[in-house]
Amino acid sequence: MGNYLHRITKRFLESIPPDELPEAVENYISKPDMSAVDGVPSKYWVITDDVISEMSQEEKDAVDANALSDRRDAAVSGMMDELESDLRQLVRLMMSEINILRAEHGLPARTLAQLKTAIRNGYGN
């Protein structure tokens, strides 16, 4: 029995026989040295071959920025894509009214997809 760390998911398996691993043993680091990342969240780990190290502050900032961007994207998608949302119905009504005015001025209609993009861009990067 041994300790294993999954190379991709960073899931730590303790005291498990190699033949009971959920995946091929090649997907794991056997007897990983975790001392360099003690107390560091796994999202900030870098695995190179069998060495586990902590990301630089710049790399951590990039991970955090991507996570924030993903949360913002999910928030906008959830808000605009719920079929029964009162906000969605209000937005559709307003878009319809705006598009009537745009047509009177010879401008193309705006779409909900364009509105979602504009809302998302308003949150920043």
Q: Residues 12, 33: one domain? A: yes
Instruction: Give CA–CA dist 39/27, Å, rounded.
Output: 23
**CA 31 to mean position of chain CA atoms:** 30
How many C-beta atoms surround the C-beta of residue 112 within 10 A? 13
| pLDDT per residue as tens digits for the range 87-107 | 778 888 899 999 999 999 999
The whole-chain average pLDDT of the chain stands at 88
For residue 81, pLDDT beyond 90 = no
Classify residue 52 by burial, with Cβ atoms within 10 Å: 0-12, 13-18, 19+: buried
Domain shared by 94 and 116, yes or no: yes
* Spacing of C-alpha 124 from chain mean position: 16
pLDDT > 70 in the chain, percent: 92
What average pLDDT does the segment 7-26 reach?
93
What is the model's pLDDT at position 98? 94
> What does the pLDDT look like over 4-14, one tens digit per residue?
999 999 999 99
Q: Are residues 41 and 16 in the same domain?
A: yes
Task: Please tell me whether residues 77 and 35 are part of one structural domain.
Answer: no
- Residue that is written with structure tokens 């796994």 in the block: 42
28 and 77 fall within a common domain: no
In the numeric block, which tokens belong to residue 13? 């398996």
Kindly state whether residues 86 and 110 are assigned to the same domain.
yes
For residues 93 and 50, membership in a common domain is answered with: no
pLDDT in tens, 51-74: 999 999 999 999 999 998 888 877
Q: Are residues 64 and 110 in the same domain?
A: yes
Q: Could you give the CA distance from residue 125 to residue 116 in angstroms, rounded to a whole number?
A: 15
Residue with tokens 């001025």: 105
Q: What residue numbers bound the domain in which 25 lies? A: 2-55
Q: 49 with 63, same domain?
A: no
Residues 42 and 13 grouped into a single domain: yes
pLDDT of residue 121: 81
Number of structural domains, the chain?
A: 2
103 and 70: one domain?
yes
User: Between residues 75 and 43, which one has the greater pLDDT?
Assistant: 43
Q: Which of 39, 55, 71 is the last residue of a domain?
A: 55
Amino acid present at 50: D
Are 63 and 39 members of one domain? no
DSSP one-letter code for 106: T
